[in-house]
Structure 1
Amino acid sequence: MAPDGSRALLLSTAARVRGPLAALVTLMVTRALLGLATPTLLAASVKAALDGGDAVRPVALLGAAVMMSGLLDAMIAPLGASAVGRAGAWLQLRSVGHLLTFGHRSSLPPGDATARVVQAAPGTAGLTVTVASSVISLASSVVALGLLWWIDVWAGLVFTLAVPAVVFVSRRFIGGATAAQAGYLEAQSAIAARLLSALTGARTIKAAGTVDAETDRVLAPLPGLSAAGQALWNLQRGTVWQLKLLIPLTQVLVLAVAGFGVASGRTGPADLLAVTGYLALASGALSQIDVLLEIAQVRAGTARLAEILARPGPADGTRHAPPADPGEVVLREVTVTQEGRPVLDRLDLRLPAGCSVALVGRSGTGKSLVAGLIGRLSDPDSGHVLLDGVPVDELPLTELGRQVTYAFDRPALTGATVHDAITYGRPDLDHADVVEAARAAHADTFIRRLPHGYDTPLANAPMSGGERQRIGLARALVRPARVYVLDDATSGLDTVTEAEVTEAITTRLHGRTRLIVAHRAATAARCDLVAWLDGGRVVALAPHTELWHDDRYRAVFAEAEAEAGTPAHDGQETADV
C-alpha cells in the first residue's frame, strides 16, 4: 500500500475527533510547559534558601506547578481514551461498512478481512494521540536541551554529541520493525482465514477423517509467524541494549561535566539541580523505544487496513425504476468468470413480471450466482441485468435493496429479539405485519412457544435450521418488493411443511415476480416456469410438466436429492401455481 493511502486514512481518522484532539493537545502542551518550568523553579527555590533570601514565592510557584501537572495528568488520560474510542468506533464502522458493500465481490477471505480490521483499527485510532504526545515530548526535549546549553554549555555539548547515534539506532529499528510487523500480521491473517474456513466446514472435515491434515493446513503459516516474531524480538533486543547503554552513559557524562562546573565555580550548586531536571526531560526523546515499536506496529496495520478502503466499492446508480411496472427481470448476455473459467457464459434469461420461476441445475452450475446478480450481490463481468427495463447497476443501491428482497438457505439473524430479526433493516414495520409474515412462513407457532414470543432475545432462542429458514422467509415476506429471490430458502423444511409454506408464499406474493432456487422437484412443480441451467446457460425455460419428460432434467433432481439424502419425487402430485 502506498504511504499516501495510510496517511490519508490517519488524517481522516484524526478529523473525526478533531475537537477532543485539540483539547487534548492543549492540555499536553500546558503540561509540557509546566514540566519545563519545574527545574527552574526548583533551582530558584534552592538558590534562595542557600542565599538566605525569600524562598516563599519560588516554592509556592513550584508547588502550584507540581499540583497543576498532576491535575492535567488526571484530565489527559480519560480525554485521550475517549478520543481513541470514538475514532476506533468510526474506523471499524467505516471498514466493516465498506467490506459489506462488496457482498460476494470481495477478493479478501472473511478471516483475513476480519483480522485486518480487528488488528489495525484500535492502533490506527490511537496513533494520532500517540504521535501528538511524542511530538510534544520531542519539542519539550529540544527546549530542555536548549536550556541545558544555556545553564552549562559544556553539559549541553556532551548531550548533543550523543543525539546522532541515538537517531541512527532508532531509524534503523523502526524501518526493520515495520517490515517484521507486516510479515507478522500477514501470517496472523492467513491463519485466521484458514481457521474460519475450517470451522465453517467442521462437520465435513470430521466426517472425512481429515482433521490432522486440516490442522496442518491451518497452521502452515505458523513458521512465517514465528520467524517474523523472532525478527521483531531480535530487533527490539538489539536496539534496547544499545539505547540502554548509550543513554545512561550520556547522562553520567553530562552530570560529571556539570559537577566539574560546580567544583570549578563555573556554575552554582542550584544550577546542578536544574541541569539534572533538564537532562531528564532531554533524555525523554532518546528513550522512546516503546513508542517507536508502537508506531512500527501501527504503520504496518494501517497499511493493511488502507488496502481494504482503497478498493473501490460498487458504483451507485442515479436512475429510478418506473413506478408502475410490476417487476420484469431480464439477464442479457451475462458472463461471469471465476478462477479462470466461465461459470456463466453469455447467459440469457427473462423472468416475466408477476410469475414464479424455479431456477434448477446441477451443483456448481451457478444458480446462486444468477440469483445474486438481480440484487447486485455480485456483478457480471459482461452483459446486462435489467429490472423493468432499467439496468440494475444504474439504480441506487438503497432503492435496489427495496425493490429486490432475498431469503437464503442459511439466513443470518441479526437484532436483539426475534421481532428485530424479522424487521431487520425496516424498523418502521408494524407488529401486525410481522405476525402475518411469520404465519405465512409457518414460523408464528414456534415463535409463540418461545419464552417471550416475538420479544425473546435471539441469544435465548435456540432454533433448528428449518426454523431459522422460516424466520428468514418471514423477514423477506414482510417487505414489499417487486422481485423476491428465494435462494434454496425452504431446503431445511420437510416436504409437507415446504408445500404449506410455498402455498402461503404463493398466495401472499400473488402478482409479484419470484425467482426460487430449487433442488426439489416438488418445489419446481409449484412454480409457473422452470429455468433449467446447464453449462453456464439456460437450456430451457418451460413449465415443469413439460421438462419432466427429459431424462437429463429428472437426473438433476435425482442427483440433488441423493446428495441431500431425501427421496426423489416426480413433482406431479402438486398442482402448478
Structure 2
Amino acid sequence: MSSSAAVSPSVPPDAPPRSALGVLGTYLGPLRWQVAALAALLLTGTGLNLLLPQLLQQFVDNAKQGAGADVAGLVRLAGLYILLAVGVQLMTAGATYVGARVGWTATNRLRADLMAHLLSLDMREHKERTPGEMIERIDGDVTALSNFFSQFAVRVFGAALLLTGALVMFFREDWRIGLGVTVFTAITLTAMNRVRKLGVEPTRLEREASARLFGFVEERLAGLEDVRSLGAGGHHLRRFLDVQRTFFTRSINSWRRRSVVWQLSMALFAVGYVGVLGAAVGLYAGGAITLGTAFLLYQYMTLVEEPIDQLTQQLQDLQKAGASLGRVSELLALRSAVRGGETPLPAGPLPLAFRDVTFSYAPEDPQARGVLRGVSFDLPAGQTVGLLGRTGSGKTTLTRLISRLYDATQGEILLGGVNVQATPLHDLRSRVAVVTQDVQLFQASVRDNLSFFDPHVTDAQVEAALHEVGLSAWLARLPDGVRTPLPTGSLSAGEAQLLAFARVMLRDPSLIILDEPSSRLDPATEALLTAAMTRLLSGRTAIIIAHRLDTVARADRILVLGDGEVLEDGRRDDLARDPRSHYAALLRAGQLNEHDGVLA
C-alpha cells in the first residue's frame, strides 16, 4: 500500500480536556449560537411549565364554589391551560431537537479529532493496542459521550431551571414549606452525587473489557483462514467465551453500582411526598390555604421530582461518560514520538544514504538486541537497489525507517542530502511510496481506492494511471469505469499489485520501495507486472525487497543483510561475477538461473 500522510479534518487540542466541563467548552464553544437558541427554548418552556399549576389552582378554587362558579371563567382557564400545555410540549420538542443536534455535532467533531489523532500517532502506539481497541475508543467511548452530550443541555440545564423555579414557587406560597423542600432537595442531590461515584470505576472497567472484546473479535476475524485451516475453532471459541464472560460480569457489576442512584432517589422521594402532602393537609385543615393551593403544592412537588429524576438519570449517564471521557482524554494525551522538521526535500530523484544506523523495537531495554546494527550504505539518485536477506535480517525494518514509521535509535538517514527527521512528514511521505505484498483495498470505488479518497484527483488521472500499469482491458470491463465499486477480495493478487502500482503512479514519488512485488503471481501476470514495474521505476530511486532472485534482475546494486548488518553492498553485475560474493552464492544455490532462483 502506498504510504500517505494523515489528513486531519480538525486538530485535537494540545492540552486535551480531562473533565466533562472541559470537553463541553472545547466542542460546544463553536456552537454558541445554537446553544443560545437552546437556552431560549428551555427558559420559555420552563416558564410555561411553572405557570400551569397556577392555572390549576385557580380552576380548582373556582370549581369548588359549586353553583356559584364562573363557568365562562372555567372554560377560559381550561382553554388557556391546554394552549400552554401544548406550548410546553412544543418547547420541549424544539429543545430536544436542538440539543440533540448540538450534542451530536460536537461529538462528531470529537470523533473526527480522535480519528485524525490516531492516524498521526507513530507505529509504536499502534503496535501496543489492537485495532479493535482503537475502534472501541472511537466508536464505543464517543457514542457514550454522544448520548450524554445530546441530552445534557436539555435534561440537566432544563432540569436545573425547572427545579430552581419550583423552589421559588414554594417560597412564594409558604416560606416554611419552601425551606423544608429546599433542605430536602439539597440532601437528595448531595446523597445521589456521593453515591454516583461508586459507579465510575466499575464503568471504566466495563469499557476496558468491551475494548478487549472488540480487539479479540477483530483479531480472530483477521486470522479466520489460519484458525479454520488448523482446526482451532473450538479453542478460540472457548477463549472468546472467557473474554465475553469477563465483559458480562463487569457489565452486571457496573449496572448494579449505577442502579444505587435511582434506588436511593425513589426512597428519598417517598419521604418527600409524604412530607409535602402532610404539610398541605395540615395547612388546609387549619384554614391557612385553599384547596387549590394544596393541590398547587402537590403539583410543584412533582416539578421538583421530575428534574431531580432527570438529574438522576443523567448522573448515571455521567458515570458512563466520565469513564469514557477518561479513556478518550488518555488517548488524546498521547503524542507521537515521530515529529517532522522544516527542511524541504530537493526536487527530482533523491539519493539515499544510511550512516551507521542502529535500530531496536525496544530502545528502553538495554538488553534488547537491535534489529539493525551499524548499517551504512549509499544509493545514488535514479538507481535501484535489490535488498536481499533471510527472514528476520531487517529488510522490512530498514524500509520503515526511510518513511519514518519508526525513527532510528542511532545514526542518521539522509534523503536528498537532508536528514529525514529534519523534513516535514507530509513532504517526506509524499515523496516516498511503499508497495507491500499485502495490498490494502477498501470497499469503495476504483477511483477512491487509487486516490485514497482525495477529491482533487480527477477520473482522467486515475484512468491514465490504470492504462500505464497495463490494466486497460480490466478497466474496459468495469460497468461504471473508475466509479465502479470494488468489493474487497474481488481481485487476484496480480491485479491488486497492479492497482498498488497505479496508486504510486498517481503520486509520482521520488523514491519507491517495493516489498517482494511478484511473490505470489503466475508467469503471465508476473510478465505484466514486470513491464509495469519497469515503467514505474524509470527515472526514480528504488529499493526492491526480494526473496526471489529474478525480482532483482533489473537492480543496479545489491545489498545483502544478515542478522541486522550489511554483509555485502555493490553493483549487481560485479557481485554476480565474483565467485566469493554472497550474491554469487545465492545464484549458484538457484542453479545459476536467476529466473528460478529462490532465496530462503
- TM > 0.5 fold call: yes
Q: 1:59 to 1:33 in 2, by over 3 A?
A: same
Q: 1:286 to 1:183 in 2, by over 3 A?
A: same
CA distance in 1: counterparts of 2:591 and 2:192, whole angstroms: 74
Matching residue of 1:361: 389
Q: 1:146 to 1:74 in 2, by over 3 A?
A: closer
CA distance in 1: counterparts of 2:584 and 2:183, whole angstroms: 87
Partner secondary structure for residue 209 of structure 1 = coil
Q: 1:10 to 1:70 in 2, by over 3 A?
A: closer
Q: 1:336 to 1:213 in 2, by over 3 A?
A: farther
How far 1:57 moved relative to its partner? 6.8
**Deviation digits for residues 419-463 of structure 1 (CA, Å, limit 9, x no counterpart):** 232233554445454334324433333332233343311239821
How far 1:30 moved relative to its partner? 1.9
Matching residue of 1:12: 26
What is the aligned counterpart of 1:33 among 47, 64, 67? 47
CA distance in 2: counterparts of 1:369 and 1:431, whole angstroms: 35
Instruction: Verify: 1:321 aligned to 2:345, yes or no.
Output: yes
* Structure 1 range deviating more: 331-340 or 111-120: 331-340
Q: 1:261 to 1:68 in 2, by over 3 A?
A: same
Q: Report percent identity of matched pairs.
A: 26
Instruction: Verify: 1:268 aligned to 2:290, yes or no.
Output: yes
Partner secondary structure for residue 434 of structure 2 = strand
Q: 1:570 to 1:299 in 2, by over 3 A?
A: farther
Q: Aligned runs of 1:308-387 on 2, under 5 Å? A: 308-313=331-336, 314-323=338-347, 325-339=348-362, 340=365, 341=368, 342-387=370-415
CA distance in 2: counterparts of 1:25 and 1:494, whole angstroms: 67
Are the aligned partners of 2:101 and 2:150 in contact in 1 as well (CA < 8 Å)?
A: no
TM-score, normalised on structure 2?
Answer: 0.85
Q: Aligned runs of 1:349-428 on 2, under 5 Å? A: 349-414=377-442, 416-424=444-452, 426-428=454-456
Matching residue of 1:459: 487
CA distance in 2: counterparts of 1:172 and 1:434, whole angstroms: 61
Q: 1:5 to 1:239 in 2, by over 3 A?
A: closer
How far 1:19 moved relative to its partner? 3.0
Matching residue of 1:297: 320
How far 1:542 moved relative to its partner? 2.4
How far 1:244 moved relative to its partner? 1.7
Q: 1:56 to 1:432 in 2, by over 3 A?
A: closer
Are the aligned partners of 1:524 and 1:571 in contact in 2 as well (CA < 8 Å)?
A: no
CA distance in 2: counterparts of 1:139 and 1:426, whole angstroms: 48
Are the aligned partners of 2:383 and 2:542 in contact in 1 as well (CA < 8 Å)?
A: yes
What is the aligned counterpart of 2:103 among 84, 100, 109? 84
Q: 1:508 to 1:488 in 2, by over 3 A?
A: closer
- Note the residue ranges of structure 2 that are not aligned, 5 or more in a row: 1-14
Are the aligned partners of 2:196 and 2:258 in contact in 1 as well (CA < 8 Å)?
A: no
Q: 1:447 to 1:186 in 2, by over 3 A?
A: same
CA distance in 2: counterparts of 1:185 and 1:300, whole angstroms: 8
Matching residue of 1:562: none
Matching residue of 1:470: 498
Q: 1:251 to 1:59 in 2, by over 3 A?
A: same
Are the aligned partners of 2:52 and 2:85 in contact in 1 as well (CA < 8 Å)?
A: yes
CA distance in 1: counterparts of 2:359 and 2:446, whole angstroms: 37
State the superposition RMSD in angstroms. Answer: 3.1
Instruction: Verify: 1:527 aligned to 2:555, yes or no.
Output: yes
Q: Aligned runs of 1:91-102 on 2, under 5 Å? A: 91-102=110-121
CA distance in 2: counterparts of 1:62 and 1:557, whole angstroms: 96
* Structure 1 range deviating more: 177-186 or 453-462: 453-462
CA distance in 1: counterparts of 2:593 and 2:329, whole angstroms: 53
TM-score, normalised on structure 1?
Answer: 0.88
Q: Which amino acid aligns with 2:18?
A: G
Partner secondary structure for residue 508 of structure 2 = coil
Matching residue of 1:138: 160
Matching residue of 1:200: 222
How far 1:63 moved relative to its partner? 4.0
Are the aligned partners of 1:3 and 1:303 in contact in 2 as well (CA < 8 Å)?
A: no
Are the aligned partners of 2:462 and 2:482 in contact in 1 as well (CA < 8 Å)?
A: no
Matching residue of 1:253: 275
Are the aligned partners of 2:351 and 2:416 in contact in 1 as well (CA < 8 Å)?
A: yes
Q: Aligned runs of 1:274-293 on 2, under 5 Å? A: 274-287=296-309, 288-293=311-316
How far 1:414 moved relative to its partner? 4.0
Matching residue of 1:120: 141
* Structure 1 range deviating more: 534-543 or 471-480: 534-543
Q: Which amino acid aligns with 2:407?
A: D
How far 1:95 moved relative to its partner? 0.8
Are the aligned partners of 1:183 and 1:224 in contact in 2 as well (CA < 8 Å)?
A: no
CA distance in 2: counterparts of 1:211 and 1:218, whole angstroms: 10
How far 1:112 moved relative to its partner? 0.8
What is the aligned counterpart of 2:257 among 227, 235, 250? 235
How far 1:48 moved relative to its partner? 4.9
Are the aligned partners of 2:62 and 2:74 in contact in 1 as well (CA < 8 Å)?
A: yes
Partner secondary structure for residue 338 of structure 1 = coil
Matching residue of 1:565: none
What is the aligned counterpart of 2:248 among 226, 244, 264? 226
- Count, aligned residues: 565
**Deviation digits for residues 320-355 of structure 1 (CA, Å, limit 9, x no counterpart):** 1123x5211223233332255322223223222101
Q: Aligned runs of 1:210-225 on 2, under 5 Å? A: 210-225=232-247
CA distance in 1: counterparts of 2:588 and 2:24, whole angstroms: 56
Are the aligned partners of 1:158 and 1:250 in contact in 2 as well (CA < 8 Å)?
A: no
Q: Aligned runs of 1:184-199 on 2, under 5 Å? A: 184-199=206-221
* Structure 1 range deviating more: 254-263 or 369-378: 369-378
Q: 1:397 to 1:234 in 2, by over 3 A?
A: same
CA distance in 1: counterparts of 2:561 and 2:464, whole angstroms: 34
How far 1:546 moved relative to its partner? 5.2
Are the aligned partners of 2:133 and 2:211 in contact in 1 as well (CA < 8 Å)?
A: yes
CA distance in 1: counterparts of 2:32 and 2:427, whole angstroms: 34
Are the aligned partners of 1:111 and 1:194 in contact in 2 as well (CA < 8 Å)?
A: yes
Q: 1:416 to 1:210 in 2, by over 3 A?
A: closer
Are the aligned partners of 1:419 and 1:434 in contact in 2 as well (CA < 8 Å)?
A: yes
Q: 1:71 to 1:427 in 2, by over 3 A?
A: closer
Q: 1:433 to 1:168 in 2, by over 3 A?
A: closer
Partner secondary structure for residue 121 of structure 2 = helix
Are the aligned partners of 2:494 and 2:526 in contact in 1 as well (CA < 8 Å)?
A: no
CA distance in 2: counterparts of 1:263 and 1:569, whole angstroms: 113
